Amino acid sequence: MADPPPGLSGLSTAELTTWFEARGEPAYRARQVVTALWSGGTSTHAGDLTTLPRPLAAALDEAFRWTTVADEAVIASDGGQTEKTLHRLSDGAAIESVLMRYPATSGRRARHTLCISSQAGCAVGCPFCATGELGFERDLTTAEILDQVRSAIGRLHPGERLTNIVFMGMGEPLLNLDRVLESVAALNDSDRLGLGARHITVSTSGVVPGIRRLTALGPQFTLAISIHAGRDALRDVLVPLNRRWPVAEVAAAARDHARKTGRRVSYEVTMIGGVNDTDADADALANLLRGDLAHVNLIPMNPVAHTPWNASPMPVIERFASRIRAAGIPVTIRRNRGVEIGAACGQLAAERAGAPAAPAVAWRRQRLEAASARALRGERSDEPVPVGVEA
Ligand code: SF4
């Protein structure tokens, strides 16, 4: 089967202008199309635009797709404050985005944060993550990344606007870095979303060459590190990419990034009861980040069917936070959003892919229990580096 035409959102205004000029059309045609693409309107193809002559709209529809994502399901929770969308791609792959509404408080304006995916599936294979269970399918194109954002804009209520975009959905963004950088440039672009770099966060599980490349480019967005553990033995299990780039190397690259860009790095810890929430883990993390331009976010684990684990109890999370704070590192405890709709990355796509057979789940749980028990004794993993994580 022939490849489908590229998505229009992946083209910059300059590229679209060149396309129109090659057909003897003025540059403002490109701006008309870009404005329509990002307006959140109901158009489904260029033929819907009354501003374009019919033959030109038809040529555009033949050359490009108006959108590259089909919204297969939108599921709301938290009284409509959290909305998860399952997007189907042209080759059948499923990806997810999550829109989170944070109402205004006395000291803060309302925020609307969208969490988007950068890959279909993920090669890193973190065992607490449903996407990791799915394995890696493929990198998303720039248009597929941006069309998740356009889909969310179309679902905003009157008066709402996206204030933050986080690349924390499916996939490891730094293993698809060229397209992520193109997407960030588009989100920054005042012709398109016009979102400031400070309002865009890209999270990595620790792809050191990617972090170093970003540092050389200068500040593009807020860098977040999914750290999850400050001790190698445990991180080998929780973030298997740690077997390739150990935690001290990741922290050193992030420290360098913070120093050179002057931007605080955010460190995310999914809090798993009895696994990475001990005093020893808090102290290991505090020692790793002491003196750095860092902020730690503690997030209770979303329950995932194939793991034997659950979220740490709140008093344990608070105790962990206080030990980090005592080292002079700012900490925030994040509320878990959308637990009842499986808002953690990959859960909906995993459900649609079909539940694994019970013996496979039981075997996986046993392996995880054994691996984490070894890690808690301080033994490093002898499992290989996951295939496909080399940058
Ligand atoms: S947590 Fe992120 S890096 Fe780890 S498997 Fe899931 S999507 Fe991949």
Profile the chain (391 residues) by mean pLDDT over runs of 10 residues: 90 94 94 92 86 93 96 90 94 95 89 96 89 89 98 93 95 96 95 94 96 91 96 94 96 96 95 95 97 96 82 97 97 78 61 67 78 82 80 49
CATH T-level topology, domain 8-63:
DNA polymerase; domain 1 (1.10.150)
Q: Is the CB of 129 under 6 A from ligand 1?
A: yes
Helix 28-37 to helix 13-22 angle (10° resolution) is 130
For residue 256, give both structure tokens: 């360098």
- Radius of gyration of the chain, Cα coordinates, nearest whole angstrom: 22
Q: Is the CB of 133 under 6 A from ligand 1?
A: no
Contact by Cβ (8 Å): 371, 237: yes
Q: Which of 137, 160, 345, 379 is flagged as catalytic?
A: 345
Superfamily designation of domain 70-376: Aldolase class I (3.20.20.70)
Question: Where does the chain hold its CATH 3.20.20.70 domain(s)?
Answer: 70-376
- State residue 304's pLDDT score: 78
126 is catalytic: no
Q: Which amino acid is at 332?
A: T
Is residue 236 lining ligand 1, measured as CB closer than 6 Å? no
122 lines ligand 1 (CB under 6 A): yes
Task: Write the CB contacts of 281 (distance below 8 Å, at least 6 apart in sequence).
Answer: 229, 230, 231, 234, 320
- Counting Cα atoms < 13 Å in the Cβ hemisphere of 216 gives 6
Contact indicator for 126, 112 with CB cutoff of 8 Å:
no
Residue 209 CA, distance from chain mean position:
19
In short, whether 268's Cβ falls inside 6 Å of ligand 1 is no
CATH code 1.10.150 region(s) in the chain: 8-63
Residue of 119, 122, 368 best suited for mutating to test ligand 1, as the one with most atoms within 8 Å of CB: 122
Instruction: Report CA(171)–ligand 1 centroid distance (Å).
Output: 6
Q: How far is 34 from 19, CA to CA, in rounded Å?
A: 13
Is the separation of the CB atoms in 170 and 118 below 8 Å? yes
Residue 115 appears among annotated catalytic residues: no
